[in-house]
Amino acid sequence: RSRFTSEFDSIKFLGGGGYGRVYEVREILVNKKYAVKIVRGEEKALREVNALTVLADNNIVRYYNCWMEDTGYMQDSSADSSSSQSSGNSSVEYLYIKIELCDTKTLRHWIDEKNAKTLQDTNRRQESLPIAQQIVSGVEYIHLKKFIHRDLKPANILLRPDGEVKIGDFGLVTVDDVDDKNPMERTNETGTPSYMAPEQLENIYDRKVDIFAFGLIYFELLWKVSSGHERGKVLRDARNQKFPREFPLTFPQEEQIIRSMLCKDPKQRPEASALKAELEKLAHTLNPEKTEHHRNV
């Protein structure tokens, strides 16, 4: 009998694909809602849990517990042909990871909604900053605990209705176990190409790959694009520190900060802690009277 279907009900598919599936559930005993992520129980999958058990921070999705089952729950809205997850193969086990339920909206949706507006949203700059500050705060913490997230992108950053930002999807997390002098040679498990730092393709890299990805995310938070095609082009250019002509005129301080994060040489990119200070300063400049309580935590 499945622990998942006996202890939880109101199971709703939230998202996922290649690697795992995430469901919104109600835990019957305590009548509370959670998210449960189901992944194939390979050794790799345990890394996600290993990291989550260590990471406890306001800006990281909260982990509760996990268990194994020999079947993967398969009902979802898409009813697609991901037959790799079908049950019946008794040698395959599945890892169920119970985590905090966030809003169904990710940063991807937030950006897409802003971009769908006809005019540039005048609040976009003000609203982007606390989001960026919370991401960098989460990244600083991840790096402090000697992990590298490796898959930072808007779809992996969750939002809560109260505005709190939570970094999720630690499916590609790895240990940052070398000194600054020698970035480690790693296997070629890759993140998402458009957010991936150039050196990640060479398989020799360190925590600075997260800084590069965050640079692109912050750029995307600010800069309105009108189509997927334009987005692709603008992001490709940004990877080479080439921005639309108007970008440095509209967002001069942000442009400097983002440019530094997108340096080809990872050593030139700032650490998360330095970025946090930079963004704090920027918050003061943009919002002199409000900075004392820009975060409700």
**Binding site residues, Mg ion, CB under 5 A:** 19, 156, 169, 171
Question: CB of residue 284 vs ligand ATP: minimum separation in angstroms?
Answer: 32
| Binding partner selected for residue 55 from Mg ion, ligand ATP, none, CB under the kind-specific 5 to 8 Å limit | none
> How many residues touch ligand ATP (CB under 6 A)?
23
Say whether 80 is catalytic.
no
Binding piece for ligand ATP, criterion CB under 6 A, among 86-94, 163-171, 182-190, 273-281 = 163-171
| Binding partner selected for residue 279 from ligand ATP, Mg ion, none, CB under the kind-specific 5 to 8 Å limit | none
State both tokens at 112: 């897409």
Give 61's DSSP letter.
P
**Cβ distance to ligand ATP smaller for residue 35 or 136:** 35
Kindly state whether residue 36 participates in binding ligand ATP, applying the rule CB under 6 A.
Answer: no
State both tokens at 6: 């006996």
Q: Judge contact between 60 and 166, C-beta under 8 A.
A: yes
**Cβ distance to ligand ATP smaller for residue 102 or 279:** 102
What burial class does residue 7 get, using C-beta atoms within 10 Å of its C-beta: 0-12 exposed, 13-18 middle, 19+ buried? middle
Which residue out of 76, 151, 169, 206 is catalytically annotated? Answer: 151
For residue 26, what are the β-bridge partners?
9, 33
Kindly state whether residue 171 participates in binding ligand ATP, applying the rule CB under 6 A.
Answer: yes
The DSSP H or E segment spanning 142 is helix 124-144
Kindly state whether residue 13 participates in binding ligand ATP, applying the rule CB under 6 A.
Answer: no
Taking the alpha carbons of 166, 167, 169, 173 in that order, is the dihedral positive or negative? negative
Give 18's DSSP letter.
S
Instruction: Pick from 102, 167, 217, 222 the residue near ligand ATP by CB under 6 A.
Output: 102
Kindly state whether residue 209 participates in binding ligand ATP, applying the rule CB under 6 A.
Answer: no
**Cβ distance to ligand ATP smaller for residue 105 or 259:** 105
Matching residue, tokens 């920027």: 282
Question: CB of residue 287 vs Mg ion: minimum separation in angstroms?
Answer: 32
State both tokens at 113: 């909604």
The DSSP H or E segment spanning 230 is helix 228-239
For residue 175, what are the β-bridge partners?
147
Q: Judge contact between 233 and 172, C-beta under 8 A.
A: no
Q: What ranges in the chain are assigned the alpha helix state H?
A: 3-7, 43-54, 107-116, 124-144, 208-222, 228-239, 247-250, 252-261, 272-286
State both tokens at 231: 């987005």
CA distances from 71 to 16, 94, 133, 142, 210 (A): 17, 6, 40, 32, 34
**Cβ distance to Mg ion smaller for residue 169 or 254:** 169
Binding piece for ligand ATP, criterion CB under 6 A, among 154-162, 205-213, 232-240, 249-257 = 154-162
Question: CB of residue 97 vs ligand ATP: minimum separation in angstroms?
Answer: 9
Instruction: Pick from 52, 61, 165, 216 the residue near ligand ATP by CB under 6 A.
Output: 61
Q: Which has the closest alpha carbon to 144: 56, 65, 261?
A: 56
Each residue 82-101 as x (binds ligand ATP by CB under 6 A) or -, in order, gives -----------------xxx
Residue positions annotated with a catalytic role: 151
> Which residues of this chain interact with ligand ATP, rule CB under 6 A?
14-20, 22, 35, 37, 61, 99-102, 104, 106, 155-156, 158, 168-169, 171
